[in-house]
Amino acid sequence: MKKLTQATEQDLIVGLQGLDLNLEAKTLSGTGLVFDEQLNEFHCLWDDSFPEGPERLHAIKEQLIQEGLLDRCVSFQARFAEKEELMLVHSLEYIDLMETTQYMNEGELRILADTYDSVYLHPNSYTCACLASGSVLRLVDAVLGNEIRNGMAIIRPPGHHAQHSLMDGYCMFNHVAVAARYAQKKHAVQRVLIVDWDVHHGQGTQFAFDQDPSVLYFSIHRYEQGRFWPHLKASNWSTVGFGRGQGYTINVPWNQVGMRDADYIAAFLHLLLPVALEFQPQLVLVAAGFDALQGDPKGEMAATPAGFAQLTHLLMGLAGGKLILSLEGGYNLRSLAEGVSASLHTLLGDPCPILESPGAPCPSAQTSLSCALEALEPFWEVLVKSAETLEEDFLEEENVEKEEEGPWQPPALAIPAWPVLQARTGLVYDQRMMGHYNLWDNHHPEMPQRVFRIMRRLEELGLAGRCLTLPTRPATDAELLTCHSAEYVGRLRATAKMKTRELHREGSNFDSIYICPGTFACAQLATGAACRLVEAVLAGEVLNGAAVVRPPGHHAERDAACGFCFFNSVAVAARHAQAISGHALRILIVDWDVHHGNGTQHIFEEDPSVLYISLHRYDHGTFFPMGDEGASCQTGRAAGTGFTVNVAWNGPRVGDADYLAAWHRLVLPVAYEFNPELVLVSAGFDAARGDPLGGCQVSPEGYAHLTHLLMGLANGRIILILEGGYNLTSISESMAACTRSLLGDPPPLLTLSRPPLSGALASITETTHIHRRYWRSLRVMKVEDKEGPSSSKSITKKVTQPANRGSCVGMITPDGNILDTDAGKPTSASPVAASTPDQAKSETTVVEFSQDQTSEAPTGEDTADQTPSEAATGEAAVDQTPSEAATEGATWDKTPSEGGAEMIPTPPALCTDNQTPPASPAQGATTQISPSKLTENLRTLDLNSEAQEAANSQIPEDERLLGEAAGGQDRDASGLTQSFGEHADADQVVLYAVTPLPWCPHLVAVCPVPESGLDVTQPCRDCGTLQENWVCLSCYQVYCGRYVGAHMLQHHEVSGHPLVLSYIDLSTWCYNCEAYVHHQALLDVKNAAHQNKFGECIPHSL
């Protein structure tokens, strides 16, 4: 067995010792709470029925007292925000104006309030708003000063609608915006995440940061295609920020009422959490409105308090747990009080209640999510390939459940139950389990020291002392017989009396097994320990637990030992849980051991009460235990079909980014839909960095995050049972990290050094496609265009390389207002900049095409309701897809109308490649457009016609591709020339050149040039043609291009090899990225081809 060299082992130890795991004193505890009765000293003087009133805080206080939460929190005195602090977001003139309201009479207050939208003023409004902002700032100081772990400000008035110089929507000062700027200025915080789950869009917060890449703003809100307040097109998914802030504004708009917990959770899993992990915030602020709760008269949604507990839990895994909630809206007093209470319970570390009816996201939610993902993909590496679409013929109609029609009618609001626990985390370990050892090989990887070293590390870090250590016991025969045959149990028991030679012979009868006289007793003890922990969790003795046991168990079959395993501890524990609960308890088994748990899969493959999810190295069936049992196509049998989920990695170096991608895209969506009552983890740590068998790169921090994310399920009842893991340092640090999470410590900061591997994404996507027929949470819905003509199209997607968000080219910053088209009031916004960041996608350099519009520029009102096609003249911007916003320099010259407020052109709801939103909400801003889009626009451009949408719908999807030489050139590229001919009166003509990607994630697939070199005259292997041939850079086979015989395209589809080199012009094309690539890694092969073609090396290097 291969061992790590001493140098390698030492390097690993040094690296792991640098973790915060070593510093027990750094673990913060305590939840701060600011609640000040002074905040109730204002109300609407002229309307007693106004929904934003003092009774909101009264109801919350009563609820918190009833549940004993006030005494559990660290109380902080509210303070007033200083003018200098408010000026971090608001203008001095505006602050001074608000200050004068203290001295106005009722009539003057009413006159001033009527100049704004949906506000009232009281002589104490200014004082209370300053106190509310200061309350959040006090928590910022406490959290960033390490006084507490997290906090909540229960304040009014709300703040997220307030803008630079404008009251709006009950809000005077923008508390979370001021807090973000304050954290950056006073505490040198570089990156802040603001999450806004209020049912109304926080346009004030968005406008404050829409050009700022240091603040990531995420809002999930009711929109209904702009019919819901604040009626702004900037609230739609199409607005992603401007200038250097492109990609840092994320809007998830709900376009129907009745949205449920499953819809909100899906938005967090598929979009917010992946982007947040890449963004790496140092502080998370939540604009915590609770008007999306069931029963709220404003929101008309159906979320539950338990759902908001889940959202809070998911956010607690970010920024090292530095999380502050600031109360915004919520106008059903009971729902508001329950929602605040649920979130506060979670901040305090209480387990999330089981969701009453989690289900899967509804079709409307999936549509909004798909559009938002499409819009954000160009800016975030982690989102690449995240919106894969399903081939229409993949799902047979009879196998797909019919989706619910219309809004969901919720049951009565459930009151969450919060368990009272004696201890939080149980721990089982018995040194007697070291009695199983290899008589013939002292260096066998499954060695007794594994469990000893883990326990020693837990004790060194003080973690064992924080756990409740439970006594162990051997498993009974009755327990073992729930998963194993009596003959097999008897056979293994008999080994205790065998001689050494007999033991060797008996072990050789199984696959990868050694047996010693103590083997049976140790295996019996390991399984019994797991059962004892199950008993403690189900009885409420502990909330969760960790079993440090050996030998491992997940390979053990009903009748056979296998892969170091004798009794299947996880399987027996699951059956024991069902037995003592008295019913078929819904149990989720997550197996993250690097080897597939063949035994566990077989035991439960016909049982729908147990969902088995395994993530493992498969390597096309060549990795242990070999064969096709771990393939993604294995989904279970009979009634259990769909309840076996295999994510099969086909290579080494899989790490944190890959496992988290699987969690967000597949594991958690399915788990929430299954809604387990108990979670068991086959916690092998042989996928850990440094393991001699796994060859993977998961870090202790990564395991901590995986554990934390699973803890939101099953009312927090989760048990980790040790399986494999053969680097003693790795398994010790990894189990310690997981134990910290179980104890309620926030997961450590996790820096992802790279995006998910393309091969890992392929494995996740393959499993997702297979299981879409069984799990509605994995299905991609068709999009219904509700803003334009009725249509139904699948959401299509181009794989786009993320932007380099550090640069900005050609910024234009027009000043002005954005008009609220429905309310008819000007909304002040910070100057908007539309610019083109350097993007890693194949870009197109476009020479300006000008249209003389000076004489017919319409006013803002004239263009308010124009579609992008109708707005091709005047002020309106040309529509474009998010990925096409990467192109540089294409502008439409526009002349601002005099006196007209600038409008946001109406974006279509359908997020297809040929129909997406304008880039900028301000008139006069640069609009970027790609050549394929330009071709399409010019082909259909008729300034007096209303038929553009019909023309667009007739353009085949493949005509919208940029121009892939090896796999598919735009067949109608000639349309560009034709279009210029049709519009020859244009002032300028567009010329464009393709700029290749400077890097792509598939360069790892490039193999060294064969020793025999390259022959650019080599014919196509399939048809023998000498025209337009390409060479595969993985296997160096030669095939012809698409417009000859398309044999290279066929080769890619069969082999999956991504990169090919043209023997015509020596360009390199990546099928997966759908882009040309030019990188140092390609220099050798390009030089070889150039030498063969021209007799000399390439004159200039990359």
pLDDT at 545: 98
Q: How many Cα atoms occupy the beta-carbon half-sphere of 877 within 13 Å?
A: 28
Average pLDDT over residues 181-208: 98
Average pLDDT, the chain: 81
pLDDT in tens, 441-450: 999 999 999 9
**Residue 564 pLDDT more than 60?**
yes
Listed residue (649, 736, 676) closest to 701, CA to CA: 736
**1029-1032 and 1059-1062 strand pairing:** antiparallel
Lowest mean pLDDT among 12-21, 127-136, 605-614: 12-21
Q: What distance, in Å, lies between the first and last C-alpha atoms of the chain?
A: 43
Listed residue (317, 452, 450) closest to 740, CA to CA: 317
Tokens 């994995």, residue located: 778
pLDDT in tens, 674-727: 999 999 999 999 999 999 999 999 999 999 999 999 999 999 999 999 999 999
User: Higher model confidence: residue 860 or residue 673?
Assistant: 673
* Residues recognised as catalytic: 161, 555
At residue 1003 the predicted structure's pLDDT band, cuts being 50, 70 and 90, is confident
| pTM value > 0.75 | no
Lowest mean pLDDT among 58-62, 69-73, 1025-1029: 1025-1029
d(CA 671, CA 588): 7
Q: Cβ distance 293 to 301 under 8 Å?
A: yes
pLDDT in tens, 730-774: 999 999 999 999 999 999 999 898 999 999 999 999 999 999 999
Average pLDDT over residues 218-243: 96
pLDDT at 995: 78
Q: Could you tell me the two tokens for 645?
A: 């989920």
pLDDT in tens, 246-291: 999 999 999 999 999 999 999 999 999 999 999 999 999 999 999 9
pLDDT at 388: 44
d(CA 866, CA 874): 11
Listed residue (956, 987, 959) closest to 974, CA to CA: 959
Average pLDDT over residues 915-925: 31
At residue 11 the predicted structure's pLDDT band, cuts being 50, 70 and 90, is very low
pLDDT at 356: 85
User: Higher model confidence: residue 657 or residue 941?
Assistant: 657
d(CA 518, CA 497): 9
pLDDT at 24: 44
pLDDT at 1074: 85
Average pLDDT over residues 485-506: 97
Lowest mean pLDDT among 180-184, 398-402, 509-513, 640-644: 398-402
DSSP codes joined into one string, 360-390 = ---HHHHHHHHHHHHHHGGG-GGGTTTTPPP
Listed residue (433, 176, 178, 520) closest to 325, CA to CA: 176
**Residue 132 pLDDT more than 50?**
yes
At residue 379 the predicted structure's pLDDT band, cuts being 50, 70 and 90, is very high
Strand order in the sheet with 1029-1032: 1038-1040, 1029-1032, 1059-1062, 1068-1070, 1075-1076
At residue 1000 the predicted structure's pLDDT band, cuts being 50, 70 and 90, is confident
Burial code (b: 16+ CB inside 10 Å, e: under 16) for 181-213 equals bbbbeeeebebbbbbbbbbbbbbbbbbbbbbbb
**Residue 991 pLDDT more than 70?**
no
pLDDT at 852: 32
Question: Percent of the chain, pLDDT > 90?
Answer: 68
Q: Cβ distance 636 to 644 under 8 Å?
A: yes
**Residue 971 pLDDT more than 50?**
no
User: Higher model confidence: residue 375 or residue 1072?
Assistant: 375
pLDDT at 1073: 82
Lowest mean pLDDT among 172-181, 514-523, 780-789: 780-789
| Residues ≥6 apart with Cβ < 8 Å to 1013 | 1088, 1091, 1092
Q: Cβ atoms within 10 A of the Cβ of 17, count?
A: 11
At residue 14 the predicted structure's pLDDT band, cuts being 50, 70 and 90, is very low
pLDDT in tens, 583-638: 999 999 999 999 999 999 999 999 999 999 999 999 999 999 999 999 999 999 99
pLDDT at 779: 82
**Residue 929 pLDDT more than 90?**
no
pLDDT at 820: 35
Counting beta carbons within 10 angstroms of the beta carbon of residue 956, is it exposed (0 to 12), middle (13 to 18) or buried (19 or more)?
Answer: exposed
User: Higher model confidence: residue 13 or residue 855?
Assistant: 13
pLDDT at 546: 98
**Residue 984 pLDDT more than 50?**
no
Average pLDDT over residues 188-217: 98
pLDDT at 346: 97
Cis peptide bond upstream of 157, omega within 30: yes
d(CA 109, CA 120): 8
**Residue 382 pLDDT more than 60?**
yes
Q: Could you tell me the two tokens for 324?
A: 């502050």
User: Higher model confidence: residue 955 or residue 1085?
Assistant: 1085
**Residue 961 pLDDT more than 70?**
no
Nearest 5°: the CA angle 1075, 1076, 1079 is 125
d(CA 129, CA 39): 8
Listed residue (762, 446, 444) closest to 618, CA to CA: 762
At residue 801 the predicted structure's pLDDT band, cuts being 50, 70 and 90, is very low
Beta bridge partners of 809: 836
**Residue 912 pLDDT more than 50?**
no
User: Higher model confidence: residue 11 or residue 668?
Assistant: 668
At residue 1096 the predicted structure's pLDDT band, cuts being 50, 70 and 90, is confident
User: Higher model confidence: residue 923 or residue 544?
Assistant: 544
At residue 1002 the predicted structure's pLDDT band, cuts being 50, 70 and 90, is confident
* 443, 519, 1032 from 455: Cα distances, Å: 21, 21, 51
Average pLDDT over residues 181-189: 98
